[in-house]
Structure 1
Amino acid sequence: MMRRDQYIILCVEDNPINMALMHHIFKKYPQIRLLKADSAEQAIELLGQDRPDLIIMDIQLPGMDGYEALDYLKSREDTRDIPIVAVSSYAMDSDVARGLQAGFAEYITKPINLKFFLERVKELIKQAAVSREE
């Protein structure tokens, strides 16, 4: 497998504090370029410029929510194979089950367990890179 030296993660988050947290987490990884969008609509626009290896998406967004954005992205041939991780303060078991059933690759609850979050992000990026090269 050829190893790339940079991966793109698109973070869709409308809360500036949560976006700052994502920036803080990923700035420690020079091989990751973080794209930021504060709405699903803005994220969809960005997808026309850069194709991310992974999307991290808040569920509660202004306008189109995370579930609507997931449905839209999974319906498009050019974006359906990008893994999407839900990040949400909806933390009941039923919320997690609904998110996974809807098609999110992972459902992370807030406050974020950083170790688990980073393990899953790394795993999903590797999987996406492998399937893209096949």
Structure 2
Amino acid sequence: MDRPSTASDQPRALVVEDDPLYATFYRETLLSAVPGISIASAENGYDALLYLAQNWPDLVILDLHMPGFDGFEFLDIVKRKYGLVEVPILVVSAASHESMRPLLNLPQVHVFTKPLRPALLKKLIRQILPEAGATPSKPAPSGFDAPSFEAFVGPDWQLQREIARQFYELAPDRIARLELASRTLDHRDLQAWCQTLTGTAAMIGADRLDECLGRLQRALDRRDIHAIRAEVAATTDELRHLSIILDHEFDLDDANR
């Protein structure tokens, strides 16, 4: 597939989202991050493919669950076509981490869960569109699993720090909710937290957290009450441990001042 010609060097973005609220949010964030950017919209994967037949965006922001031709089908086609493989696609979806996991292996696909904070979305946009003024890369700090973290997030240290800060701020609430679900033996809630935190562990390269969650999942499958509570305790301890590491490595106390 030949690259469609463009009339100017103005950056282009395609927003593929059927929810008007999110479509507006993405449009306004794009305009704020990259003044003058040209933005097109599509409500499903089919309309997005029609746009790509005539235009070559520098970035696609993609939802997955849309009526008719959804984001999964869109990615299946786009990432198999010559010329479109290298188009950067930012997937922002409420789909389960398990269903999105295969997308992590697709070239130039960056996967995040809804809702995405404006500040983080803006950093992602600037990272993907370096001409828009991305912060120069800084090596990830030592003592952290840099290869896994960087493979998922990219080399921009400021972006890594923002994601670390989000993890740090969410950890106390996640620990409290995990402990509550353990006390009440709410299997559905515990299963949901296993899925959520497994995605988080993969994002930041937290192998020990992933191992804890694997053991917790197996205990849930066996309905072993004592093992469930023991593995919840191990998981929450690891969440605390990771928070301390992230705070130390990314100067998160300073980031929150």
Q: TM-score, normalised by structure 1?
A: 0.79
Question: Which of 82, 96, 106 matches 2:110?
Answer: 106
2:19 paired residue number: 15
Q: 2:115 & 2:57 partners in 1: Cα distance? A: 24
Q: What is the CA–CA distance in structure 1 between the aligned matches of 2:101 and 2:31, rounded to whole Å?
A: 31
Task: Return the letter of the residue paired with 2:25.
Answer: L
In terms of fraction of residues, the more helix-rich structure is: 2
Partner of residue 67, structure 2: 62
Q: 1:114/1:95 Cα in 2 relative to 1: closer, same or farther (>3 Å)?
A: farther
Give the drift of 1:53.
Answer: 0.7
Query: Residues 81, 103 of structure 1: CA spacing in aligned structure 2 closer, same or farther, 3 A cutoff?
Result: closer
Q: Percent identity?
A: 28
* Matching of residues 46-85 of structure 1 within 5 Å: 46-85=51-90
Contact kept, 8 Å, 1:89 with 1:110, in 2: the verdict is: yes
Letter matched to residue 6 of structure 1: Q
User: Please, which runs of 5 or more residues in structure 1 have no aligned partner?
Assistant: 128-134
Aligned pair partner of 1:30 in 29, 35, 58: 35
| Count of residues in correspondence between the two structures | 123
Structure number with the bigger relative contact order (C-alpha 8 A, sep ≥ 6) is 1
How far, CA to CA, are the matches of 1:104 and 1:63 in structure 2? 24
SS at match of 2:79: helix
Asked if 2 retains the 8 angstrom alpha-carbon contact of 1:91 and 1:110, the reply is no
Matches within 5 A, 1:108-127: 108-126=112-130
1:60 aligns to what SS in structure 2?
coil
Aligned equivalents of 2:96, 2:38: Cα separation in 1: 28
**Higher strand proportion (structure 1 or 2):** 1
- Between 42-51 and 82-91, the greater mean CA deviation after superposition: 82-91
In the alignment, the residues of structure 2 paired with residue 106 and residue 119 of structure 1 have an alpha-carbon distance, to the nearest angstrom, of 13
TM-score normalised per structure 2: 0.44
What are structure 2's unaligned runs of at least 5 residues? 1-7, 132-257
SS state at 1:35 partner: strand
